[in-house]
Amino acid sequence: MLNMLTMLLQVAGGVGAGLAVIGAGLVVLGTGVGIGRIGGSMAEGIARQPEAGANIQTASIILAVFIEGVALFGLVIAMLAST
């Protein structure tokens, strides 16, 4: 693990760039987990109350958009930090 981190830092061009790459990876990972949890909870909620399906779906899409916005902001910050 440490060898891979050292190699990543050499390829990326320094400690700041290496940490920016790791930060970008964590942003992507967190986004995937967050949207996956929203989707799972949406499916469970619609299964429990089918009559509220439209409201649950709309709220889930809005939450997913907010998570995507935060993820995009995090990626931009990580890429700016790498330069």
At 23, which CATH number?
1.20.20.10
pLDDT, tens digit, for every residue of 31-61? 999 999 999 999 999 999 999 999 999 999 9
Instruction: Identify residue 28 by its one-letter amino acid code.
Output: V
> Given this model, what pLDDT does residue 51 score?
96
Establish if 4 belongs to a structural domain: no
Domain count, the chain: 1
What pLDDT is stored for residue 19 in this prediction? 78
State percent of the chain over pLDDT 90.
Answer: 53
Is residue 2 one of the residues assigned to a domain? no
Residue 10: inside a domain: no
* Residue ranges making up the domain that contains 40: 15-81
Q: What is the DSSP string of 24-45?
A: HHHHHHHHHHHHHHHHHHHHHH
pLDDT number for residue 56: 95
Nearest by Cα to 24 from 74, 82, 81: 74
